[in-house]
Structure 1
Amino acid sequence: MKKTRLLLAFSVCLLLCSMLPGAEPKEILLWPNGAPGSEGKTGDENLRITEEGDHVVTHVNKPAIIPYLPAADKNTGTAIIVAPGGGHSELWISHEGYSPAKWFQEHGINAFVLKYRLAREANSTYTVDKDEVADIQRAIRLIRSRAKEWNIDTAKIGVMGFSAGGELAALAAMQFSKADPNAKDPIDQEDDRPNFQALIYPGNISRLEVSKNSPPVFIAGGFKDRADISEGVAQLYLKYKQAGIPAELHIYANVGHGFGIRATNQGTYTEWPHQTELWLKDMGFLKSK
């Protein structure tokens, strides 16, 4: 009886430990020796947990990706970088980071949660266009540099972002550079153009531009979101349509901003991850079963 109780206690301990934040996959620094523009910044990263259980990260000086890699027998070879939102002042990394990454991981897609520097945090010296964009571009190049190790197809690496992270993902799809075989850093020898983009209620839509070289896009938002987003996503879709870039748009009637993936979500908008998956299949980035 005593042995049974000890075994039960040990099992409960393992279960509880697996639920702690520390059970998340180990992050990979984008620049192991320090990110350009973060020189001399030694402040610790901060994690705040809301009453609802959301994890909110601030004070990011060491940008990183957190890998969620599917089992080898489920790996589709497709990869997606997930950029949480938070108004460029914080990262709501649970429902707009970990949860979407786990969903894609379970469906055979390699997912990487991006912890990027924050341009609008109090006293920040970072900017969106310089430092945040550099972080997501570096993440794309890093994944391409390790594609063979992770069994990823370098032609099937995309970006996804929520709110401010959606703006960042869209900027990565606007501003990209070719591979530089002469770069000193092997990671910088890779190109940083995403092959596809998924923009979930993206912010600052009015500044987003589309070119003939833009990658195809999946866009989703809520009818009840503020006008610049609920109407802006439709206007953004039209920009892609007019440029001849394949685009798909979903506006869900009964939801506003910030839905992401939560256990409490209810309604048709909860289907957005599955609809993203179907779109990836339609576009040839995933094989149809």
Structure 2
Amino acid sequence: MPAQSVAQAEEEVKIIPDVVYGHKFGMALTFDVFQPEKPNGAGVLFMVSGGWYSRWTEPQNMLSWFKPLLDSGFTVFCIRHGSSPKFKIPEVVEDVRRSVRFIRLHAKEYGVDPNRLGVWGGSAGGHLSLILGTTSDQGEPDAKDKVLQQSDRVAAVAAYYPPTDLREFVEETSPYYQRFPALQFDKELADDFSPLLQVTPDDSPTLLIHGDQDKLVPISHSENIMQQFKEKNVPAELLVIEKAAHGFKGDDQTRASQAVVEWFQKHLQGQSK
């Protein structure tokens, strides 16, 4: 993104950095908010997660990544979770659920409709997005914490090259188990954190984008859950990027990003469920 475009984007987008949505082990869980000049009332939560590591980045450095959504009027929430290797997937999922609940509770403050929230991520972030899309709940009405009283349901999901079945990954003999410490949790819980096994007819509309040359997360992960979405009549699409590996670049990235914008325009704009 040219320097002039970045400067212009900074002027047009309001950034609220490091909003605290919870605490654990004496540390804050945070997200950044990117508010466009002309918001459309819908919000998209981006899962900052690669290998279930969640790293902080200067918010201004994320502007080019979010620009297509911001240009279309979406308010973007850049969500960080408790990171691997300290935290495992069950704890990570608890964090991202809380982020949705927190944003829903405070939606008016951010100028978004609490029923028009989408979620998007790539790889581990795609996995977390699918978890939210397939296993949401209505919250706990009697909880003392007002955040926990809120639903963590999202209205639409977009996921790049997501792992959808963790059962093999959590075996100690799996190379994934050794490479990604977040997978080192009780394997008896693997079903609960495998979106492939959690698909039901009331799941959120879901866009899957996967390269057919992905060696890290084979395209079969998206193809298999796409079949489940079809069988359960969940609105879903699979965009296959030919000759693309894990991580999109250049024209592939542009194509994928545009597909995400169009998906959220279709399922979030002008809708209130």
TM-score (norm 1): 0.71
* Counterpart in the other structure of 1:213: 202
CA distance in 2, matches of 1:85, 1:229: 18
Aligned match of 2:78 in 113, 116, 127? 113
CA distance in 2, matches of 1:269, 1:253: 12
Deviation at 1:114, TM superposition (A): 0.9
Secondary structure in 2 matching 1:267: helix
* Counterpart in the other structure of 1:279: 263
Contact 2:43–2:118 (8 Å) recurs in 1: yes
* Counterpart in the other structure of 2:88: 127
Deviation at 1:93, TM superposition (A): 5.4
CA distance in 1, matches of 2:40, 2:116: 10
Deviation at 1:161, TM superposition (A): 1.4
Percentage of identical aligned residues:
23
Aligned match of 1:237 in 226, 244, 247? 226
CA distance in 2, matches of 1:97, 1:214: 29
C-alpha change, 1:24 and 1:145, in structure 2 (3 Å) is closer
What letter is aligned with 1:110? T
Aligned match of 2:34 in 50, 55, 68? 68
Deviation at 1:89, TM superposition (A): 3.5
Residues 98-109 of structure 1 mapped to structure 2, 5 A cutoff: 99-109=64-74
Task: Tell me whether 1:79 sits opposite 2:70 in the alignment.
Answer: no
Deviation at 1:181, TM superposition (A): 3.4
Structure 1 alignment gaps of length 5 or more? 1-14, 40-60, 260-264
What letter is aligned with 1:279? W
* Counterpart in the other structure of 1:4: none
* Counterpart in the other structure of 1:29: 20
Contact 1:30–1:135 (8 Å) recurs in 2: no
* Counterpart in the other structure of 1:267: 251
Contact 1:98–1:113 (8 Å) recurs in 2: no
C-alpha change, 1:236 and 1:94, in structure 2 (3 Å) is farther
Contact 2:32–2:77 (8 Å) recurs in 1: yes
Aligned match of 1:257 in 246, 250, 254? 246
C-alpha change, 1:76 and 1:113, in structure 2 (3 Å) is same
Secondary structure in 2 matching 1:27: strand
Deviation at 1:230, TM superposition (A): 1.8
Aligned match of 1:194 in 154, 171, 194? 154
Larger Rg: 1
Cα deviations by residue, 1:208-239 (Å, 9 ceiling, x for unpaired): 23112211101101112117432221222111
C-alpha change, 1:90 and 1:27, in structure 2 (3 Å) is closer
Deviation at 1:177, TM superposition (A): 1.9
Structure 2 alignment gaps of length 5 or more? 1-6, 167-193
Deviation at 1:269, TM superposition (A): 4.2
Deviation at 1:24, TM superposition (A): 6.2
Deviation at 1:187, TM superposition (A): 2.0
Q: What is the number of equivalent residue pairs in this alignment?
A: 232
Task: Tell me whether 1:136 sits opposite 2:96 in the alignment.
Answer: yes
Deviation at 1:175, TM superposition (A): 2.6
C-alpha change, 1:85 and 1:258, in structure 2 (3 Å) is farther
Cα deviations by residue, 1:22-75 (Å, 9 ceiling, x for unpaired): x964111111xx23xx24xxxxxxxxxxxxxxxxxxxxx53211111112xx21
CA distance in 1, matches of 2:99, 2:126: 15
Secondary structure in 2 matching 1:26: strand
Secondary structure in 2 matching 1:30: strand
